[in-house]
Amino acid sequence: MRTIDFSPLYRSAIGFDHLASLLDANLRNEQKRPTYPPYNIELTGEDQYRITMAAAGFQQADLSIEVEGNTLTVSGQKTENEDSKQYLYRGIAARNFERQFQLADHIKVIGASFKNGMLDIDLKREIPEALKPRKISIQSDTVDVLDNASTDKPQPAPSKVA
C-alpha cells in the first residue's frame, strides 16, 4: 500500500484540504473497490471526457446514471427473471453493481448512450465566464492625444520650449 504525506500541501496551500482528503481516502480504499464492471476513462478532446463501461447482460432499462453534487453514480439492477434458464456454464457476470466517480468542479454530464453492451457517458468541463481569465485594462493619470482627438473637447495648444 502506498503512503503519501500531504503535510507539505497543508503548510503551503490554502483551500486544498478537501482535495488532499479526497486523494487520501481514495488511496486508502483502492484495494477495497470492486472491479466489476470494467470501464475506461478517455480524454476525447480539450476539456471533454468519456467513461465507457462494459455492461454485458444488461438492458438499457436496467441501468441508471445519477449526478449528485460532484459524485456520478452508475448502477445496474437486473430486472429479468432468470429462474426459467438452466445454465451449463455462466461466464457473463450479470450481477447488480454500483460504481461511483468523483467529478472535479465544473464537470457536467452532457449525455449517455448504450450500444452493444457498452455504456458511454460523455462529460465536459464547462468553466463559468466569471472564472475564465480576462484582460484588465490599465488606466493612466495623463490623457493621451489620441483620446482627446476622439472627443469634442477643444485641444490644448502645444507648449513651445525654447
Predicted TM-score (pTM) of the model is 0.64
Q: Are residues 27 and 86 in the same domain?
A: no
- Pick from 117, 100, 107, 110: which is nearest to 53 by CA? 117
pLDDT at 41: 94
**Does residue 150 fall inside a structural domain?**
no
Long-range contacts of 24-28 (CB under 8 A, 24+ apart): 26/102, 27/1, 27/2
Query: How far, in Å, CA of 93 to CA of 62, rounded?
Result: 14
Query: How far, in Å, CA of 58 to CA of 21, rounded?
Result: 35
**Does residue 59 fall inside a structural domain?**
yes
Q: Are residues 113 and 81 in the same domain?
A: yes
Q: Are residues 83 and 110 in the same domain?
A: yes
What phi, psi does 75 have (nearest 5°)? -135, 155
Determine if the peptide bond prior to 38 is cis (ω within 30°). no
Cell for 83? 429462474
In the chain, the number of structural domains is: 2
pLDDT at 116: 92
Q: Are residues 27 and 44 in the same domain?
A: no
pLDDT per residue, tens digit, the chain (162 aa), is 556 676 676 666 666 666 667 776 666 666 566 678 999 999 999 999 999 999 988 899 999 999 998 899 999 998 766 667 788 888 877 789 999 998 988 899 999 999 999 999 999 998 888 888 888 899 888 765 555 555 555 555 555 555
Q: What does the buried/exposed string (b/e) look like for 47-84 if buried means 16 or more CB atoms within 10 Å of the residue's CB?
A: eebbbebebebbeeebbeeeeeeeebebebeeeeeeee
Strand order in the sheet with 48-54: 39-45, 48-54, 118-125, 107-115
Structural domain boundaries enclosing 84: 35-131
